[in-house]
Structure 1
Amino acid sequence: DEVSKEISNVQFLNDYDSLLSSDIDAVAIATPTITHYEIALNFLKIGKDVFIEKPMTISTKEAEELVRVAEANQRILMIGHILLYQPAIDFIKSYIDQEHLGKIYHLHQERLKLGRVRTVENVVWSLGIHDIAVLLYLVGSSPKKVDFTGHCGVQKQIEDDAYVHMTFDDGTMAHLHSSWIWPENKRSLKIIGEKGMLVYNEIEQTVVLHKKRIGSDLENIDQGKEQLFEGSDQPLRLEMEHFIQCIKSREEPISNGRSGAEVIRVLESLNES
């Protein structure tokens, strides 16, 4: 009620039933995760384009069903993996795809801070989901193996410090450390390739190339470092602009339903590790 008083030109509803019969083109779903599947399914079935905030669903089965229905109805289905819309990530993706680093050996992602502790989902489902989406996007394929190690310190059965290790078909490995019980605020990504190494500082929004590698004679080669990128934008704005553009052009979103379902598959596999 308080928000509705502040924003007078927006209609507020107690439920979404009336929207099902409206002439809107698309909906954005930012409700509790457990409700995502039912709400999205209802709108996709009647021909609406749908944006779902992460996590996409609570299970791979639900995620894959949403993808199936979206494709059957030729609807846009986009997932809110906001870090994919950081300009720095876009730069890194292009840099890797242009093979400036050569073969990628391994990627290391850290997302560490003190709090905010969740009582339902563990630290990977809460924080690490962003990084899993980024790692899958940069590698460009699905992992053939996922290993998980976590520690439940603050609450029983809810990991507050965790490591995820993903192995891909081409031998590339991706490692993630997520924690909400950490003394420092640290958000970084390191990418190790045969021709050099990239370091992305998410807090400072810089990408630095370390011109280091192991030579053919196994000698260390260090030719210094160079800052390749600095700058930031509003990823939420870029994300929403991308969704609108996809609605107009019917192009596939960067964070489409299939990639969102793959993130959920990886998260679900952690329970089996």
Structure 2
Amino acid sequence: MNSNKKLNIAVVGVGRWGKNVVRTIVEEMPNARLSHIVTSNPAVKSQYENKLSVLPNWRMLLEHRDEYDCIVAALPPDINLELAKDVLPLGIPLFIEKPLAMDYEGAQTLLSLAQQNKSIIQVNHIDLYNPAVDEIRSRLSEKPVSIKGAIGAAYGHHAVMSPLWEYSPHFIAAALKIAMAPLISLQATYLPIPKSLQDNERRELVLLTLKFADGSEAEIRAGNGMEDKTRTLDIRQEQDQYLFVDRADVPLRINKQAISIDTRLPLTKSLLHFADKVNNQDIDLEDFISGVEVIRILELADRSLQEGKTIKL
């Protein structure tokens, strides 16, 4: 691709999260251009129809294939596979939201599609591109690590997935990258919901414990049963502590000392990484394969919750 040419991006899905994606492309990606939007929302259509091409469904978007370079989809996970089946055989680079599928079988099907078509594809596990996580990883040795993460809020229950599946994938993906050893067991247990949140909303708070072959361990608390919006990682190795607190005045501290990092949001870094993949025609699937492993872990976590026991791999 001509390096002087802006990357034309089509966005499919402009709901609550999709609006963040659109804003990021427009405001944070100077070498990209938002060229198309797919939405059924009349308000979104009226906002953008005089600025760019607005279409009601992705199949109409595919009829305009020569007008954009890639697709960024902000869709529920039950739609990702259907979209990929239409898009990947056409050679269109695709960015999808997490979790990448509703079950492990669907994730494997999606991976097979990507492999067969030599696709450029990325799943949006934003903490793989989080500047704080990058900085922490650069300072870790190969010795075992302890990872404690908390991610969640008090939002309503998602229409198609449980709070565990909605909130935990980012930190599961990050834990797999940080630990770097084979996963040998996992256990998921329900935690009590604070009294202030015991309302008519369906709420869950889950503790997911991952144990790795080298002695590393990750404990991830995730769900919509947290009183405050929370996104923290506490990583320890030997005598060192690495503490990430999202959107804090000082988001990263190492042994209580403030560390300067790239201030761009993880979503921005994730989308920029995808743009680089498109520009470089990068068909490497390592991170996507990790995303498939995240789905396997989520399925096993559901089994652990149902059976009330540790699952050995």
Instruction: Please say whether Structure 1 and Structure 2 have the same fold, judged by a TM-score greater than 0.5.
Output: yes
Which residue, 206, 220, 240 being the options, matches 2:271?
Answer: 240
Alignment of 1:44-193 (within 5 A): 44-96=88-140, 99=141, 103-118=143-158, 120-151=160-191, 160-193=204-237
Contact residue 97 and residue 123 of structure 2 kept, 8 A:
yes
Deviation at residue 26 of structure 1 after TM alignment: 2.0
Contact residue 152 and residue 159 of structure 1 kept, 8 A:
no
Deviation at residue 163 of structure 1 after TM alignment: 0.3
Deviation at residue 112 of structure 1 after TM alignment: 4.2
SS in 1 for 2:100: coil
Q: Give the aligned partner of residue 297 of structure 2.
A: 266
State how many pairs are aligned. Answer: 255
SS in 1 for 2:222: strand
Contact residue 76 and residue 97 of structure 2 kept, 8 A:
no
Deviation at residue 42 of structure 1 after TM alignment: 1.7
Separation of aligned partners in 1, 2:174 and 2:72 = 21
**RMSD of the alignment, in Å?**
2.6
Deviation at residue 25 of structure 1 after TM alignment: 3.2
Q: What is the TM-score with the length of structure 1 in the denominator? A: 0.83
Superposed CA deviations along residues 147-179 of structure 1, whole A, max 9, x for unmatched, are: 1002586699x6611100001121211101123
Separation of aligned partners in 2, 1:239 and 1:271 = 28
Separation of aligned partners in 2, 1:121 and 1:59 = 11
Separation of aligned partners in 2, 1:131 and 1:48 = 28
The one-letter amino acid paired with 2:207 is: Y
Matched, 1:18 2:60: yes
Alignment of 1:192-231 (within 5 A): 192-204=236-248, 205-210=250-255, 225-230=256-261
Deviation at residue 62 of structure 1 after TM alignment: 1.4
Deviation at residue 122 of structure 1 after TM alignment: 2.2
The one-letter amino acid paired with 1:258 is: I
Q: What is the TM-score with the length of structure 2 in the denominator? A: 0.73
Specify every segment of 5 or more residues in structure 2 that has no aligned partner in the other structure, as ranges. 1-41, 305-313
The one-letter amino acid paired with 1:259 is: S
Deviation at residue 56 of structure 1 after TM alignment: 0.5
Q: Give the aligned partner of residue 222 of structure 1.
A: none
Provide runs of 4+ in structure 1 moved above 4 Å. Answer: 151-156, 252-255
Q: Give the aligned partner of residue 43 of structure 2.
A: 2
After superposition, the Cα gap between the structure-2 partners of 1:117 and 1:47, relative to the gap in structure 1 and judged at 3 Å, is same
SS in 2 for 1:131: helix
Higher strand share: 1
